[in-house]
Structure formats: structure tokens, C-alpha cells
Amino acid sequence: MRKPCIKKSLYISQDNIGNLIFHLNSKNVCKISINIDFIKKLVLLMDGTYTEKELLEKIRKEGYDISQKSLEYILKMFDERNFLDEYEVFDSCGLSQEELKKYDRQINSFALNGKIRYQDAIKMQSVIKRKKICVIGVGGVGSHSLYGFAAMGIGKITAVDFDKIELSNTSRQMLYWESDIGKYKVDVAKEKMLKINPRVDYEFINKKISSVEDVVSVAKNSDMIYLCADTPRGKIIDIVDEAALLLRVPYYVGSPTNDQILCGPLILPNSDIRYRSLIGNHLIHEDKDIEKIKEKVMTTIIEPFNAIAANIGVMEVIKYFTNYADCKVINKSLLLNLVDMTIELLNYNNISEGE
């Protein structure tokens, strides 16, 4: 039997003239200006303990003469606003009590959106637990992304890199400290990620990605390839694109460059659209001299850019996996300029092949 419960994440306040403000998210705010004391008492009673019939009895004992029809109307209004949940009986969907507690904040965060219920949000967390992702490159964006995916409870993370830690890495790559200098990134990342979330199944591979075959070998059992590496310069995206097509898995690309952050695109495996068909082939016809010049390029970055790029990327992948919200970067990119503080969604509609 239904036991209405106010959502844990529903924020309720009162303004200076006494109105109640119900704030679920930025798009779902409701002001109530009548029967204030009654509504406050009703909210306090709706903790998932009482059925609708019991609620009616309780509220009447508090001195409020309300009909069953009126209570049903109020509950319906709350329900339509997604202010209610039913916590008394739910399927844990394979999540342990420890996992439900660990991920409680994000489960409730999923339930803020649209008509998503607590039970739906638990299912989304169980989807995350079953997913396997291959992160190529565990430097600036990659190390932040590793943390993000692990913190959110991804089931398996395969992390690939070949570099050793240098002093400059310690100012912009969150997993590495000065005491780690000279060690392989994958070795240090493994040690620290096991402390961050030991429930995740990790695989750390010390390997330089140079070919399609390399990507296939490390990502063959993954549900998503998440590209953070920038070498071989000018070629890595094409290598991953071809490998993802062979494996029939989606992949995500995102990185900060100078004063900008490019988040996306996320390319789907069941689409005829590939990376070069989106952005064009105007950069790939280069001679050996240009390749040598590129090898000497020093990337410029500051730590906050890596954190922002990584966390937006992780969030878009989680959206794609769970459908808790629309993934905005499927065949598109989000371009952020952190100097001018401008944001642009790139649809690539005006870029043609060979342009």
C-alpha cells in the first residue's frame, strides 16, 4: 500500500511574508501561500511511515478538518511536481546496502530530474555498476576522469598509459604527487584508485597506443572508450575512431587546449557518422615535417581546466549510460572559453569534408 514520502532532496524554505517555497531543481520551484501551517504539518508527517488513510487520521488529530478528497488533491499536486517518493518497498537492483549508502547522494540527485522516482534512480545506479569503460590516457583529464568514474561506481575501469610521472605533472594531474616522480602513471594510479573506491574492478595497462590494433586489444571488452590521450598527435582520434567502429562501441573525446575546453563529441557505434565526417578532413593531410613539429609542441594547461573538462565528460557519459538526462554531446561538442566565460554548442553543421 502506498506510503507517500517527501523526497529527501526537496528543499523547503519560507520567505519573509510567510510563503512556503518548494525547490526541487532550477526548473521545478513552487510557491504555496495558503494553509501554510497545515502544509508544514503534512510535510512533517510524510516520511514514508504512513499510508494515505493513516495520514488523513494523523492530520485530523492535529486539529485540521480536511476531507479525503482534499488530501488526495494535495498529494496529486505534489506527485505531479515530482515532490514525492515511496521508500517503503523497493528493489535494490543488485546493489548492496553499503552501495546504497555510499551512492545515496547521487541516487537522490538522479531522482531530481523530471519524473524519475527513487526506484528508477536505483536502477540507474545499478546500470552504472554494470558498465565497463576504457580510459586511454591518465594524465590531466584522464586522472580526474578516473576519479569521477570510480566515485560514481562504474563497474570496471580499464586505464591505459605509458608515461612516467614528471615534476610538471604534479601541478595539473590530480593523482600524482612529487613523491611519485619517476614512477609509471598506471602503477601510481592503481595504488590510489584502489583507495578511492575498492569496489571497482580495475585493470591498469602500461602501453603506448600507436595503432588501431592497440586500441582493440585494450578496449575489446568495454562499453565505452573514453579518450584523454593526445599522442600520437593528430592521429590518436582517428585511431580510436576506427577501433571503436570495429568493436561497435561508442567513444568520447574531450580535452582542454590553451584557454578553451572542448567536451565531446560522443560518437555512437550504430551511426554512419564518424569523427572526420563531423569535423572534416582539413587537418589530416600533413607531411613528415609537420609531424616532427607537432612532436615538439608543449601543451599549455592549468589544473582547473583539467578538472572541468574531465567532470563534464564523466557527466555526459553517465547521462548516456543511464538516460537520467539527455546527453548533449552525441555528435556534438561543448566549447567553453574560460577566459571570456562563454559556452557554445558546436553542431558541426557548417563544416564539410575537405574544407
> Mind giving me the DSSP string for 264-322?
EEEE-TT-S--HHHHH-STTS---HHHHHHHHTPPP---HHHHHHHHHHHHHHHHHHHH
- For the chain, the domains span 5-85, 91-124, 131-346
> What pLDDT sits at residue 217?
98
> Per residue in 277-320, pLDDT tens?
887 765 555 677 777 776 777 677 889 999 999 999 999 999 99
Q: Give the Cβ contact number of residue 287 at 10 Å.
A: 8
Give the mean pLDDT of 115-133: 95
CA-to-CA dists, residue 15 to 18, 28, 136, angstroms? 5, 17, 50
Q: CA-CA distance, 52 to 57, in Å (whole number)?
A: 9
Is residue 265 within 8 A of residue 330, CB to CB? The reply is yes
Cα separation, 237 vs 138, in Å, equals 16
Q: What distance, in Å, lies between the first and last C-alpha atoms of the chain?
A: 63
pLDDT of residue 289: 79
DSSP summary character for residue 165: P
The model's pLDDT over 133-146, given as tens digits with 9 standing for 90+, comes to 999 999 999 999 99
For the cut 90, the answer to whether the pLDDT of residue 99 exceeds it is yes
If you average pLDDT over residues 42-65, what whole number do you get?
Answer: 94
Decide: pTM greater than 0.85.
yes
CB atoms within 10 A of CB 71: 19
Q: Do 235 and 211 touch, CB atoms closer than 8 A?
A: no
Question: Which of these, 253, 257, 261, lies nearest to 330 by C-alpha position?
Answer: 253
Answer CATH for 5-85 from 3.30.1330, 3.90.930, 3.40.50, 1.20.1730? 3.90.930
As its CATH architecture, domain 131-346 has 3-Layer(aba) Sandwich (3.40)
Distances (CA, A) of 322 to 26, 141, 156, 280, 327: 21, 22, 16, 30, 10
Residue 213 has pLDDT above 90, yes or no: yes
